[in-house]
Structure 1
């Protein structure tokens, strides 16, 4: 159950991370936000990043083996990276509508799955 909580919290964290890091690039499409200056954008991104950390830190604490969780440090980082790239791809395609998934993206995801397999192999 701790593994599932860890993964769900990391997914939430990465949704906020994606919007904090890249959401401001699409402010020009929103009339209310298109005229914001750099410092306003930084402050909005910081606010979103706060929520990223509110989910990410507990995820790692719950999931880490030395705290009773199921994952080693390397496994946690691997899970984080796969979730990060997956969430980014989904948001990029379906929310920002800035890219389309192509064969090379799908092949890259296959390699990510292989990376997870090898990292978790005992």
Structure 2
């Protein structure tokens, strides 16, 4: 296998890993947001909003990464960078929530996958 073939495989593997992590994060964040009390303190409202936002950003990022058509690398980079930032911010919010450990973990895993894919993009 040549270096260019290895780079292509690495790119595809990292892209798939990022899309998969985004899917898992979207699921975990949506679940956590749905379990937040509807009538609760301000922190619960922040938790719901962050969970919904993170789920939507991760879902959109997964769609961008899964698109088979020609894509603009700058658009992909921007979407993945946005996802990385939202996931890290959401993980911080979920850390403060006693029931948010799984969502925080999923957010961090997604952020790591996004970071890895961004490194592959160069």
More helix by share: 2
Give the TM-score, by structure 2 length.
0.37
Give the TM-score, by structure 1 length.
0.37
Larger radius of gyration: 1
